Structure 1
């Protein structure tokens, strides 16, 4: 299934769940494990990312995030960029790099291996794909 087909479900209620731009913008937030924990970019968040309600309640700075709802196209393009970032990393990763320790993306006071960061990303991506496909299939 391509994202173009998925676009027909933007802002629709799918069995009580909303598949919309926010769903994909949340996926952009998950990219912080790649951009922050693994690649150690100085600003791992993108303005189009949409943190959940607990993010601000935990005291994190929300000023970098856009306040307007992003367009579906803009979020898709950003999501593609984040996926390319992951592909580029995986194309060059070495066993030594996988064993390196990094501050955890969401709790930098804790250390975890780069391999563990990848496990988190893969687990979340798999779960979100399963839910999206389940809900889209239910609408057919």
Structure 2
């Protein structure tokens, strides 16, 4: 057992350290840096982690009680089955976080914003996910087209994607070119969004459905939390022009158009052949419809985010 009691360790650095089942009580670790540290099943009681930085840390099964996390940053941190008691997360910002199966009792969620997949979210005994879905459909009745089940439905959905994105691109063209490389509140820039959607199509259509093990383009941009993978590009420093990004984008959209136009009930119901080699998705068999719905979901939400950020850039 690793015990730390009544210790002051401000600014300490922990790298490639294994401290499973550690017990930290009355310890000051503000500004500490943890890199590739095993803290599985650790117990933190009255621990100051103000401004701490954690990257590649396993806190699975941990118990945190009376812990100050103000200004702390967590990147690639495992908190599966962790317990937080009397922990302040006021003003916390979470991106790419999996909270599935979590239980939050006696929490304050006032003025909280949640964007993401919501399913089975129960608040004060009420499953609010169906209520959220119904409200989003009410706000934009065409949103229901993004849940197709027939070949005709997929064609209509892609018609809508093409129409909405053409309007968004026209809006983007009214901004100075340098603005299209500008991030709003830490999100992808407009051009990075186009690059990511090309990557999504390469993953789920060109690789998963069409069977190309390495369909990547140098401008493809994976999601931030994806681990670096040999052969899969991730050039965050690239600065293509809008027209260069659109050339790739239009090519990938044309691939989807060709596919949905040729769909039959039989081909839609088919399952893909697992594709091996570095990349995403993993070598599994997927339903063709499942793959296409992933693409539709990416298209719908990233356009919504792009419109939100364009409004901020225009202001």
Q: Which one has more relative contact order, counting CA pairs under 8 Å at least 6 apart? A: 1
DSSP-derived class of the 2:208 partner: helix
The answer on 1:121 being equivalent to 2:295 is yes
Residue pairs, 1:9-48, within 5 angstroms: 9-31=179-201, 32-48=203-219
Superposed structure 1 runs of 4+ greater than 6 Å apart: none
What are structure 2's unaligned runs of at least 5 residues?
1-166
1:49 maps to which residue? 220
Q: Aligned residues, how many?
A: 136
CA contact 1:25–1:49 (8 Å) conserved in 2? yes
Q: TM-score, normalised by structure 1?
A: 0.80
Shift of 1:3: 1.7
1:90 maps to which residue? 260
2:36 maps to which residue? none
2:66 maps to which residue? none
DSSP-derived class of the 2:211 partner: coil
CA contact 1:48–1:70 (8 Å) conserved in 2? no
1:61 maps to which residue? 230
CA offsets 1:35-88 (integer angstroms, 9 cap, x no match):
11111124321122123454444xx213x6375614122211100000011011
Q: TM-score, normalised by structure 2?
A: 0.39
The answer on 1:111 being equivalent to 2:285 is yes
CA contact 2:168–2:303 (8 Å) conserved in 1? no
CA contact 2:193–2:306 (8 Å) conserved in 1? no
Structure with a larger share of its residues in helix: 1
1:3 maps to which residue? 169
DSSP-derived class of the 1:47 partner: coil
Q: Distance in 1 between matches of 2:306 and 2:234?
A: 25
Structure with a larger share of its residues in strand: 2
Q: Distance in 2 between matches of 1:93 and 1:11?
A: 36
Pair member with larger Rg = 2
What are structure 1's unaligned runs of at least 5 residues?
none
